[in-house]
Amino acid sequence: MPANLPAEAKAKWLKVSEAKTPEEKLKALRDFLSSVPRHKGTERIIMQARRQMGILRKQIQEEKKKRQQRKSGPSFFIEKEGAAQIILVGEPNTGKSALMRCLTKVNTISSENAFETRRPIPGILEWKGVYLQIVDSPSIVKGSSKGFMNGLQVLTLIKNSDGIIIVLDALKNPLNQIKNIENELKEAKIILRKKNYKIVIEKKRFGGINIFGRVKDASESEIQSLLRSYGINHANIWIKGEATISNIEEQILFSYTYKPSIIFINKIDLLDKDSIDKIIQKAKMYLDNKIPVFPCSSIRCELPEVDRIFEFFLKELELIRVYTRNPRTGVIERKPIILRKNSKVIDAAKMVHSRLYKNFKYAKIWSPRLRFSPQKVGKDFVLEDGDIIEIIA
Ligand SMILES: Nc1nc2c(ncn2[C@@H]2O[C@H](COP(=O)(O)OP(=O)(O)OP(=O)(O)O)[C@@H](O)[C@H]2O)c(=O)[nH]1
Ligand SMILES: [Mg+2]
């Protein structure tokens, strides 16, 4: 410590060096700083003390986060892989883990014990070069949304996913299982039935309110004043489909997220065909045909065709497959690149290689939808599912 500091500051510095915990050290540093006179000679000391305080604050914050995590149980975060992350959801013992084995060959334990699966386990399902990540997960039960049996972590896992496969036990009142699951998910602001509109509100720090799209029963300025009445002064808002102003209000208040889902009615090996048909019909009616329902037997790996699973999720998630063609060899890659609907040629180039993106000249597209195929196109050409693309850089 330089000698030009007053005695009071020196005494306080002693306290800093004696402090044991990060909290004590931070407090002592703050005290010390308040006693350091501000002039050219102390600039460096002040700067260093502030930097140290910054490090301590970060340390304290991280510790706090860790403590909170320990209190609320393990985190169920699973890093995404492939085109989309799909979670297996269902009540205990419905056969999620057995289904996981059929879909991905990942050997998760399947047993008669309820709550056998305690943590999410990921695996990969492949179809014509497209990969879906499937995640076996702990059961959802009444009370999951209140934290029962790690329910909050399971619901967060679902919320962060791209879609779900619901596994029902055909023998245990499947409609009741759907109701319970929908209720628990709704508590977590997740809905499974697609609305005939889509509203996205993205809050911002500045720039005012920008509205893309319209509602049938209100003007742009009415929407703006609704947002302002909820304290939203800067936001982008996208409206697609048949929305009303009260739908916008609902979105501000509850911000439900829609998750595309498929229902598997499992264990049909234990039932006759008539009973299975009745269950399927009842389920479809209850769901207003808004969610596809398939019979299955996980134990025998008798499942609906994988094509239907992939086609459903790709369509619902608005993803397209684009196949690259090598300009030198003319070989078309079997594994497509997966892009969002309405992506442009340049987005595909970016996905393939940064060099193709930076040095992009033009591309050739092969597709039955084009009058001339291949067609030479520029970087802004909009791609469609199934297009074959050759990028020239
Ligand atoms: N008959 C029949 N039994 C099945 C089928 N699928 C699973 N089972 C049985 O049902 C029980 C539960 O299967 P799991 O795969 O452990 O079910 P889970 O949904 O993963 O259960 P938890 O992890 O405990 O939530 C096991 O005894 C399985 O053998 C099926 O298609 N038919
Ligand atoms: Mg399981």
Query: Is the shortest distance between the CB of 269 and ligand 1 below 6 Å?
Result: yes
pLDDT over 70, % of the chain: 97
Mean per-residue pLDDT, 123-146: 95
Q: How far is the CA of 89 from the centre of ligand 2 (A)?
A: 10
- Tokens standing for residue 173: 């009142």
Q: How far is the CA of 383 from the centre of ligand 2 (A)?
A: 40
Task: Give every strand in the sheet of 121-127, ordered side by side.
Answer: 121-127, 130-136, 84-89, 163-169, 261-266, 293-295
pLDDT for the residue 356? 87
Whether the pLDDT of residue 364 is over 70: the answer is yes
Residue owning the nearest CA to atom 2 of ligand 1:
267
Q: What is the mean pLDDT of the chain?
A: 92
Question: Distance between CA atoms of 393 and 358, rounded to whole angstroms?
Answer: 8
Dump the DSSP string for 290-334: -S-EEE-BTTTTB-S-HHHHHHHHHHHTTEEEEEEB-TTT-PBPS
pLDDT for the residue 3? 44
Q: How far is the CA of 110 from the centre of ligand 2 (A)?
A: 5
Closest CA to 167 of 299, 286, 264: 264
- Tokens standing for residue 176: 């009741």
Question: Distance between CA atoms of 378 and 120, rounded to whole angstroms?
Answer: 44
This prediction has a pTM of: 0.79
Are 337 and 375 in contact by the 8 Å Cβ rule? The answer is: no
What number does the ligand 1 atom closest to the CA of 110 have? 16
What number does the ligand 1 atom closest to the CA of 115 have? 24
pLDDT digits (tens, 9 = 90+) for 209-226: 999 999 999 999 999 999
Q: How far is the CA of 88 from the centre of ligand 2 (A)?
A: 9
